[in-house]
């Protein structure tokens, strides 16, 4: 990707933390229908690799399916084996990032400081994830943008439809959206409604 272009048509990574394989196709299908093309299933979800495999098989041609909370090289290998293409980390572990990139995975690397951001980029991460974004706020994003190269930056952690525009205005290209989008056990209808709220917030800002 060039400069600040993300690999996603809609740069909102939908995080389905806690989803079960029996539910994943319905919720991912709803998100894809609503225009989402980046889906993350965290590794602390029940049988996460099975969920990734199901989603990738059914929707991999229309969306980038991946896993979050990638903590080890084994996690990255399991993601690849399941057919996933996006590895999202909560922290900066250069060895894990480098391994995932070498295996041709897209990596959105979690960081909390400028030093960690540069370590992640040096290891090959194609995208950065400020986490937890709600703690640092848009002011942190503006400060980071003064020193970071042209790399896609996502705000993740506590982002809501109301706070999303502030992060975008400060220099983020997108966001990862979790509990405000999906909570374990919720209905597909709630997922759809929340997805529409976030999408509209993004589109209104981009207009």
Choosing from 23, 40, 58, 180, which is the catalytic residue? 40
pLDDT at 25 over 50: yes
Specify the pTM. 0.96
pLDDT single digits (tens) 121-156: 999 999 999 999 999 999 999 999 999 999 999 999
Q: At what angle do helices 73-81 and 48-59 cross, to 10 degrees?
A: 40
Concerning whether 183 is annotated as a catalytic residue, the answer is no
Domains identified in the chain, total number = 1
Q: Look at residue 177 and tell me if it is in a domain.
A: yes
Tell me the percentage of the chain whose pLDDT exceeds 70.
98
Q: Look at residue 123 and tell me if it is in a domain.
A: yes
pLDDT single digits (tens) 30-74: 999 999 999 999 999 999 999 999 999 999 999 999 999 999 999
Q: Look at residue 157 and tell me if it is in a domain.
A: yes
Choosing from 58, 102, 122, 129, which is the catalytic residue? 129
Mean pLDDT in residue range 178-207: 97
Q: Look at residue 173 and tell me if it is in a domain.
A: yes
Q: Look at residue 2 and tell me if it is in a domain.
A: no
Question: Which stretches does DSSP call E strand in 25-178?
Answer: 38-40, 64-67, 86-88, 106-111, 127-130, 153-156, 174-177
Q: Look at residue 3 and tell me if it is in a domain.
A: no
pLDDT at 1 over 90: no
pLDDT at 3 over 70: no
Residue ranges making up the domain that contains 78: 12-206
pLDDT at 185 over 50: yes
Q: Look at residue 145 and tell me if it is in a domain.
A: yes
| CA end-to-end distance (rounded Å), the chain | 23
CATH of the domain at 75: 3.20.20.70
Mean pLDDT in residue range 107-128: 98
Q: Look at residue 124 and tell me if it is in a domain.
A: yes
- Tokens encoding 121: 């980029």
pLDDT reported for residue 2: 39
């Amino acid at each position: 990707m060039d400069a600040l272009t993300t690999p996603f048509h809609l740069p909102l990574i939908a995080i389905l933390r806690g989803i079960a394989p029996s539910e994943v196709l319905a919720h991912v299908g709803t998100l894809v229908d609503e225009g989402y093309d980046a889906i993350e299933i965290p590794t602390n979800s029940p049988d996460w690799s099975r969920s990734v495999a199901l989603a990738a098989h059914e929707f991999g041609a229309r969306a980038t399916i991946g896993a979050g909370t990638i903590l080890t090289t084994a996690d990255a290998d399991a993601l690849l084996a399941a057919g996933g293409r996006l590895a999202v980390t909560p922290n900066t572990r250069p060895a894990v990032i480098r391994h995932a990139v070498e295996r041709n995975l897209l990596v959105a690397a979690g960081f909390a400081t400028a030093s960690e951001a540069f370590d992640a980029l040096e290891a090959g991460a194609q995208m950065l994830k400020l986490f937890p974004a709600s703690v640092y706020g848009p002011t942190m994003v503006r400060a980071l943008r003064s020193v970071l190269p042209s790399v896609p930056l996502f705000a993740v952690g506590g982002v809501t439809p109301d706070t999303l525009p502030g992060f975008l205005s400060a220099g983020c290209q997108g966001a990862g959206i979790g509990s405000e989008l999906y909570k374990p056990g919720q209905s597909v209808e709630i997922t759809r409604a929340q997805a529409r709220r976030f999408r509209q917030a993004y589109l209104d800002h981009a207009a």
